[in-house]
C-alpha cells in the first residue's frame, strides 16, 4: 500500500470527520486513471469511511460538476483555437484559466469522495470543443453568446445544488458548499464578461442561446446519471 499523492483535499476529509489518510489499492479494483483533464489522477480505493454522507446525492453532484467543468474547458479550448489571436483572446484565456482550476478541484473531489467520472467524458470532449470552435466561427459576439448561454446554465445549476446541499445538511457539506458557491460566482462573472463583450449582438442571439441551453440541460441530465 502506498499513500496516494493524488488525494489533495484533506479539508474535505476533515469536513467528513475522517482522520485517516486515503490510500491507493493495488488490486484490480484498486486504482484507475481519470481521463478528465487537469493531469493524470488516480481514483483510490480506501478504507476510510465516508459514512454519513448521502451517497447518491454526492455522487450525482460531483460527477455532473466534473463533467460540466470538463466541458467548459473544452468549449474555451475550441474558442481559443479560433479566436486565440484576436482581441478577445486574452479574456477567453483568463476565463479558461479559471475553468482549469475548477476542473482540478473536481478531479480532487472525485478522488476524495470516490466518485467515478461520467462515461460520457469522451463525448463531452468532442462536443465541447465543437461548440466552442463553432460559436467562435460566428465571430467574437458568437463566442460570447455561447459563454453567456453556458455560464448562465451552469450558475443556475450550481444554485440548484446549493439549495439541495443546504436542505440536506449545511454543516456536513460546508466545504462542498463553499466550493460550489465560489465556482457559481466565477461562472456568474464569466456570464457578465460575455454580456459586456456584446454577446447579445450576436447573430440570432436568442435562438443560439436557447439551443445551447437545451444542450446544457441534456448534458446535465445525462452526466448526473451515467
Residue ranges that bind Fe ion, judged by CB under 5 A = 69, 72, 99, 102, 151, 187, 190
Is 69 within any annotated ligand binding site? Answer: yes
Nearer to Fe ion, 4 or 36 (CB): 36
Nearer to Fe ion, 69 or 108 (CB): 69
Is 151 within any annotated ligand binding site? Answer: yes
Is 191 within any annotated ligand binding site? Answer: no
State which residue has the least CB distance to Fe ion.
102
Q: Which residues contact 97 (CB under 8 A, 6 or more apart)?
A: none
Nearer to Fe ion, 172 or 188 (CB): 188
Task: Give least dist CB 101 to Fe ion, A.
Answer: 8
Helix residue ranges, H only, 114-197: 121-137, 140-168, 174-196
Q: Which residues contact 123 (CB under 8 A, 6 or more apart)?
A: none
- Closest of 207, 218, 100, 216 to residue 151, by C-alpha: 216
- Running DSSP on this structure, what letter comes out for residue 99? H
For 202: left if phi > 0, alpha if psi spans -120 to 50, otherwise beta; the answer is: beta
State the angle between helix axes of 140-168 and 121-137 in degrees (0 to 180), rounded to the nearest 10. 140
Is 167 within any annotated ligand binding site? Answer: no
Is 51 within any annotated ligand binding site? Answer: no
Nearer to Fe ion, 13 or 197 (CB): 197
Number of C-beta neighbours around residue 203 at 10 A: 11
Nearer to Fe ion, 16 or 187 (CB): 187
Task: Give least dist CB 105 to Fe ion, A.
Answer: 9
**Annotated binding-site members for Fe cation:** 69, 99, 102, 151, 187, 190
Amino acid at each position: 500500500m502506498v499513500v496516494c499523492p493524488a488525494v489533495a483535499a484533506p479539508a474535505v476529509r476533515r469536513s467528513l470527520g475522517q482522520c485517516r489518510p486515503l490510500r491507493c489499492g493495488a488490486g484490480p479494483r484498486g486504482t484507475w486513471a481519470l481521463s478528465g483533464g487537469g493531469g493524470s489522477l488516480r481514483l483510490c480505493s480506501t478504507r476510510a469511511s465516508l459514512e454519513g454522507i448521502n451517497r447518491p446525492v454526492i455522487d450525482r453532484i460531483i460527477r455532473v460538476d466534473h463533467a460540466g467543468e470538463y466541458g467548459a474547458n473544452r468549449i474555451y479550448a475550441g474558442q481559443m483555437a479560433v479566436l486565440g489571436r484576436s482581441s478577445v483572446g486574452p479574456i477567453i484565456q483568463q476565463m479558461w484559466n479559471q475553468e482549469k482550476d475548477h476542473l482540478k478541484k473536481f478531479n480532487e473531489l472525485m478522488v476524495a469522495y470516490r466518485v467515478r467520472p461520467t462515461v460520457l467524458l469522451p463525448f463531452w470532449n468532442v462536443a465541447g470543443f465543437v461548440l466552442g470552435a463553432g460559436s467562435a466561427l460566428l465571430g467574437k459576439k458568437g463566442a460570447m453568446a455561447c459563454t453567456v448561454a453556458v455560464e448562465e446554465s451552469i450558475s443556475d445549476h450550481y444554485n440548484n445544488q446549493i439549495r439541495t446541499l443546504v436542505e440536506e445538511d449545511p454543516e456536513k457539506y460546508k466545504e462542498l458548499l463553499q466550493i460550489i458557491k465560489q465556482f457559481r460566482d466565477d461562472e456568474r462573472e464569466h456570464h457578465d464578461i460575455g454580456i459586456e463583450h456584446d454577446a447579445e449582438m450576436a447573430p440570432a442571439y436568442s435562438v443560439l442561446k436557447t439551443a445551447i441551453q437545451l444542450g446544457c440541460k441534456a448534458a446535465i441530465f445525462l452526466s448526473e446519471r451515467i
